[in-house]
């Protein structure tokens, strides 16, 4: 999936403009990136197209530790980073998780690289990740 389609689908799903879609995608990417191990974040980056890979890699820091955030904190941080409500942040996380799963060619969010991401999430974020696969 190309980054233009990814962002267009986020725009459409969230009913926002392109700049807002980029900002919300960056906020969700940032929180997900920091929730994964360095190796898993690198593995995901390898699967992303150009601009999205650059955005994802922008959160790399040397010797970073995994942020052990759970769903409520994850959503709160997305809302804060993107300047949106927590309700909108939850919807954004689901939409962007769904687009990531499509990028990873994972229809249920549990195949291949998507499985590796899912396996690193706590139960409450796993539910959000799998909800994304069922949403449309």
35, 44, 78, 81, 90 from 109: Cα distances, Å? 17, 13, 21, 25, 17
The distance of Cα 101 from the centroid of its chain, to the nearest Å, equals 9
- With b for 16 or more beta-carbon neighbours within 10 A and e for fewer, the 96-126 pattern comes to bbbbbbbbbebeebbeebbeebbeebeeebb
Contact 20, 27 (CB under 8 A): no
Tally of domains in the chain: 1
92-110 mean pLDDT = 94
Domain limits for position 27: 3-134
By percentage, how much of the chain surpasses pLDDT 90? 91
pTM score, whole prediction: 0.94
What CATH number is given to the structural domain containing 109? 1.10.490.110
User: Rounded to whole angstroms, how far apart are CA atoms 12 and 68?
Assistant: 31
Average pLDDT of 112-127?
96
Q: Residue 136 has what pLDDT?
A: 66
Q: How confident is the model at residue 95 (pLDDT cuts 50, 70, 90)?
A: very high
Residue 73, SS3? helix
Tokens of 84: 């949106």
18 in Cβ contact with 26 (< 8 Å): no
Q: What is the pLDDT of residues 8-50, one digit of tens each?
A: 999 999 999 999 999 999 999 999 999 999 999 999 999 998 8
Torsion of CA 65, 105, 110, 123, to 10 degrees: 40
Res. 1 pLDDT band, cuts 50 70 90: low
Distance of alpha carbon 15 from alpha carbon 90, whole angstroms: 14
């Amino acid at each position: 999936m190309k980054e233009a389609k990814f962002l267009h689908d986020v725009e459409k799903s969230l009913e926002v403009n392109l700049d807002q879609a980029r900002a919300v995608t960056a906020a969700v990417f940032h929180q997900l990136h920091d929730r994964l191990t360095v190796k898993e974040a690198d593995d995901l980056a390898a699967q992303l197209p150009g601009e999205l890979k650059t955005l994802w890699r922008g959160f790399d820091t040397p010797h970073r530790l995994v942020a052990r955030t759970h769903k409520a904190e994850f959503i709160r941080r997305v809302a804060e980073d993107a300047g949106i409500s927590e309700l909108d942040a939850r919807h954004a996380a689901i939409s962007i998780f769904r687009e990531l799963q499509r990028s990873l060619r994972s229809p249920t969010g549990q195949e291949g690289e998507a499985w590796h991401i899912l396996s690193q999430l706590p139960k409450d974020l796993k539910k959000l990740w799998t909800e994304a696969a069922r949403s449309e």
